[in-house]
Amino acid sequence: MQPISILGPGAADLADRLAARLDGRTAVVRRVDDSEPDGEDASPAVDGDASTGPDRTRLALAPDGTWTGSGSADGFDEVLDRLAPDHDWLVAVDYDRLRIPTVLLGPGRDSGDAPGALIVQAEASDDVDAATLVAALDDAEPWVTREALVERVEASDDAERSGAIATFTGRVRARDAPGDDRTSHLAFEKYDGVARDRMDAIAAALTDRKGVFEVAMHHRTGVVAAGEDIVFVVVLAGHREEAFRTVRDGIDRLKDEVPIFKKERTESEEFWVHQRE
């Protein structure tokens, strides 16, 4: 799923214009406060209705965690994780987050007001062309979850022959030992195109193994905070032995062969990890 965050005056109008141009299942998530009255925007149908269309999901997330129209979510991250497996796009209004492409609206706004990757800054929503935004998202980082990769391999034509799905999740470790400086975040950079091509080649080679039907892997880039997930490897196989072995080989090859560089920030310093290995 590809998310985008729109912040500032006129964000809702721009979100609607952008969503109308996106192909595929699209969620629009906007911020509401406790005093906002119920209405079409505050109480929409998740699966689409006459106002949203069959491929539009419109949600409202209140401060108490209420996810209007579909139960509740523990904050914006959970909304992203829940919608990622079955949505192509998510347009967030007045929600922002690290690693999410961001549009910042309003006069006098500073780029530091947007923690995500700033792709457009304008004084008013009318100054932003929705078609330009769609093009800017072509090279953006998608929001990929382990669950989305599991669903992808489960859709394999060979799924009925599989008896095992094994997964590996790498995450940001805050510290190696109790007395170590705490790591606040890691920042990952990759060679555009090369890293994805190399991961695809590794996945294809592992899938050629006897008893292995599907392999999916994803490595997040940009700033990833302590405690957050970094990398996923998912394997669909006939039996657990092939699944476990392939997951282990997959993450080992990804770390050894894929050009992704890691900068670590601790309480006392910042450094490129490969320069200390």
pLDDT, tens digit (0-9, with 9 covering 90-100), for 215-265? 999 999 888 999 999 999 999 999 999 999 999 999 999 999 999 999 898
Query: pLDDT grade, residue 51 (50/70/90)?
Result: very low
The mean pLDDT of the chain is 85
Burial 265-275 (b: 16+ CB within 10 A, else e): bbeeeeeeeee
The confidence band for 105, taking pLDDT boundaries of 50, 70 and 90, is very high
Mean pLDDT across the stretch 3-10?
Answer: 94
Mean pLDDT over 22-37 rounds to 75
- According to DSSP, residue 254 is labeled H
Per-residue pLDDT band for 153 (boundaries 50, 70, 90) equals very high
pLDDT at 73: 63
Helix 240-257 / helix 194-207 crossing angle, nearest 10 deg: 150
pLDDT at 115: 76
Instruction: Report the range of poorest mean pLDDT among 69-73, 88-92, 214-218, 265-269.
Output: 69-73
Residues near 48 by Cβ (< 8 Å), separated by ≥ 6?
A: 54, 55, 56, 57
Res 275: pLDDT: 60
What percent of the chain stands above pLDDT 90? 55
114 has a pLDDT exceeding 80: no
Q: Would you state the pLDDT for residue 50?
A: 32
Lowest mean pLDDT among 39-48, 63-72, 124-133, 179-188: 39-48
Would you say the C-alpha torsion 150, 154, 156, 161 has a positive or negative sign?
positive
What confidence score (pLDDT) does residue 106 get? Answer: 92
In this prediction, residue 65 carries a pLDDT of 56
- Identity of the residue numbered 146: R
pTM for this entry: 0.80
Contact 98, 90 (CB under 8 A): no
At 71 the pLDDT is 47
Burial 80-101 (b: 16+ CB within 10 A, else e): bbbbbbebbbbbbbebbbebbb
pLDDT average, residue stretch 209-215: 97
The answer to whether the beta carbons of residues 39 and 134 sit under 8 Å apart is no
Query: Largest Cα–Cα distance in the chain?
Result: 60
| Cα distance between residue 242 and residue 261, in whole Å | 30
**H helices present in 124-268, as ranges:** 130-136, 146-154, 194-207, 240-257
